[in-house]
């Protein structure tokens, strides 16, 4: 009996630490991703442009590239949620794997370098 209890607790702990939305048994819906995102990099020592991405409820996106912190090119197009393992947000032909940890939503650009779009609202 005790061994079974420890096994269940261990399985719950492992499932709670993974970033895969399917482990959470929460159905993914496009409206969950609607909102504003900002470019994030784990490399705090290097300068990075504060690009912003907006995913709209009507299926359109706006990507504002901000070289040196100033508004530069703006790209607009269609976005969609692609359910898979992992799920992806596709902006036209570019795909970004989705990572959900608690209430934090990230669209991964380069996970090895810590580059992502992080949802801000």
- What are the structural domains, with CATH classification, of the chain? 20-119 (2.40.128.370)
pLDDT at 114 over 80: yes
Q: What are the C-alpha distances in Å from 81 to residues 10, 25, 45, 89?
A: 32, 17, 33, 5
For the segment 82-95, the average pLDDT, to the nearest whole number, is 92
CB 23 within 8 A of CB 11: no
Q: Where are the beta strands (DSSP E) in 1-121?
A: 35-40, 52-55, 60-64, 74-82, 88-91, 94-101, 104-110, 115-119
CB 96 within 8 A of CB 86: no
Share the mean pLDDT of the chain: 78
Tokens 């032909």: give the residue: 93
CB 61 within 8 A of CB 77: yes
Write out pLDDT tens, residues 1-18: 444 443 333 333 334 333
Q: Is 23 helix (H, G, I), strand (E, B) or coil?
A: helix
What is the pTM (predicted TM-score) of this model?
0.72
For the segment 94-119, the average pLDDT, to the nearest whole number, is 90
């Amino acid at each position: 009996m005790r061994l079974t209890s420890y096994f269940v607790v261990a399985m719950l702990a492992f499932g709670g630490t993974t970033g895969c939305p399917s482990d959470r048994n929460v159905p993914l819906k496009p409206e969950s991703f609607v909102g504003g995102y900002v470019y994030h990099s784990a490399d705090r020592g290097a300068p990075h442009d504060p690009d912003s991405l907006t995913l709209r409820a009507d299926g359109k996106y706006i990507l504002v590239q901000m070289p040196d912190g100033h508004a530069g090119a703006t790209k607009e197009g269609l976005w969609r949620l692609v359910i898979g393992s992992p799920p992806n947000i596709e902006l036209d032909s570019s795909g970004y794997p989705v990572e959900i940890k608690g209430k934090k939503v990230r669209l991964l650009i380069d996970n090895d370098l810590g580059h992502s779009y992080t949802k801000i609202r």
